[in-house]
Amino acid sequence: MGSHNRAEGFFPDSGFVSRETWDRLRLYADLVRKWQPSINLISPKTLPELWERHVLDSVQLFRLRPEPLTWIDMGSGAGFPGLVTAICLTERDAGWVHLVESNNKKAAFLRQVISKTGARASVHPMRMETMNATLSGVDAISARALASLSELLDYAAPFARENAALELWFHKGLDYPGEVRSARDLWGFDLIEHQSLARDGSAILQISNLSKRN
């Protein structure tokens, strides 16, 4: 079954992005497979499920928030979900994704994908602790399989102080309810839980109105 057809099986409305975008995403997946032997981009055991486990899981974010925002994707790694969002934004011809990745080899991979797909993104080889000194004017922040929710909120806090309307979008696994409880001890925030189509019990957390508790 082709990638586009498998997308139709995954999403009840796969037409929310164009066939050209699906083609760009398929090219991206091919580049992951090509680079994987030399750079450990994703867990090797998930490579056979690359399309569903990584690409389509990441496309869910654009499906939920397709507006052409300015994003930071923290700890981009192989580019999930930020580079997927940037590829989807090509059909909007607006919006931008700042990919923050401190590993130089992974940063080189991300630049290669941007070059091949025309993704609306730039790569910033820096640590997340320093990104607020360089990046500004951000509408939303994403992250996937990166750190605990409390740590992610700590990284995002400087941007929330700059922009009260900042949105945070974090892919989280089965243990996310415990992470939310722990984070609420330190942070105040509004939360919407979007149940994942990729795995039962996992979710994409939409967080707004972030503030540090006294």
Which residues are within 8 A (CB) of 104 and not within 5 positions of it... i.e. 6 or more apart?
A: 125
- Residue 14 near residue 7 (C-beta atoms within 8 A): yes
Omega before 81 within 30 of 0, i.e. cis? yes
Please give the average per-residue pLDDT across 84-94, as a whole number. 97
- CA-based R_g, the chain, Å: 16
Q: What does the domain layout of the chain look like in residue ranges? A: 3-212
Please give the average per-residue pLDDT across 2-13, as a whole number. 69
Please give the average per-residue pLDDT across 16-43, as a whole number. 94
DSSP 91: G
Tell me the pLDDT tens digit for each residue of 94-141.
999 999 999 999 999 999 999 999 999 999 999 988 898 889 999 999
Tell me the pLDDT tens digit for each residue of 58-73.
999 999 999 999 999 9
pLDDT score for 13:
81
pTM listed for this prediction? 0.94
pLDDT score for 199:
85
Please state, in angstroms and as integers, the Cα–Cα distance from residue 194 to each residue in 137, 171, 181, 198, following that order.
26, 9, 17, 11
> How far is Cα 196 from Cα 57, in angstroms, rounded to an integer?
8
Tell me the pLDDT tens digit for each residue of 130-162.
898 889 999 999 999 899 999 999 999 999 999
> How far is Cα 83 from Cα 107, in angstroms, rounded to an integer?
11
> How far is Cα 139 from Cα 165, in angstroms, rounded to an integer?
7
> How far is Cα 90 from Cα 163, in angstroms, rounded to an integer?
25
Least confident span in 4-18, 64-78, 88-102, 152-166: 4-18
> Could you tell me how far CA 183 lies from the centroid of its own chain?
20
Please give the average per-residue pLDDT across 159-186, as a whole number. 96
pLDDT score for 149:
97
- Residue 66 near residue 92 (C-beta atoms within 8 A): yes
Amino acid at 21: T
Q: What percent of the chain has pLDDT over 70?
A: 97
CATH number for region 3-212: 3.40.50.150
> How far is Cα 58 from Cα 85, in angstroms, rounded to an integer?
8
Residue 1, pLDDT above cutoff 50: no
> How far is Cα 192 from Cα 187, in angstroms, rounded to an integer?
15
> How far is Cα 212 from Cα 214, in angstroms, rounded to an integer?
6
Residue 190, pLDDT above cutoff 80: yes
- Tokens 């025309």 locate to 118
Token pair of 144, please?
């996937």
> How far is Cα 103 from Cα 92, in angstroms, rounded to an integer?
29
pLDDT score for 8:
67
Which value, to the nearest 10 degrees, does the dihedral of the CA atoms of residues 171, 73, 58, 22 take?
170
Please give the average per-residue pLDDT across 40-69, as a whole number. 93
pLDDT score for 116:
98
